[in-house]
Amino acid sequence: MGYITPEVVGKFPGFLSPSAGLKFADIPNGLASVSKIPALGWGQMVAYAGYCELSGPQTRAANTADYADIVPGDYGFKVLTSSNPQQLTSKLNAEIANGRLAMMACLGMLFQDGLTGSAWGDWALFTASPLR
């Protein structure tokens, strides 16, 4: 989402940091954004993530004494189902393979962005290639 959405939909209007005169449009996509976001902005993101982690859900699963009878990932419905055990195994293995493929694609986008400055890979910008 962080790579694709700003390219397709655009960025928020207005200022990211009014005191610094920094607009959302001034922040580049991808790895280049790491150095452009102010330190206080990173602090806010870390603080919010910490709040989400520490406040946690106030549900039965938040009580560790109840973990013994709770199955991880059981949300009360099944997406991948089959009455045939072999077909179910095949579907579950396909889901794992698709997840791994998606992780490799994201890793490839990060490497390409690090080398060329663009996740979409304008290799003409990568002048330090040992293949040239």
Q: How confident is the model at residue 72 (pLDDT cuts 50, 70, 90)?
A: low
Q: Is the pLDDT of residue 132 over 60?
A: no
Going by pLDDT thresholds of 50, 70 and 90, the confidence category of residue 58 is low
Tell me the average pLDDT across 4-10.
82
Burial 23-42 (b: 16+ CB within 10 A, else e): eeeebebbeeeeeeeeeeee
Q: Residue 41 has which token pair?
A: 């902005």
Its pTM surpasses 0.75: no
pLDDT at 26 over 80: yes
Nearest to 124 by CA among 106, 112, 108, 109: 112
Mean pLDDT of the chain: 81
What number is the average pLDDT over the span 103-121? 82
pLDDT, greater one: 58 or 103: 103
State the number of CA atoms in the 13 A half-sphere of 81 facing the CB.
Answer: 5
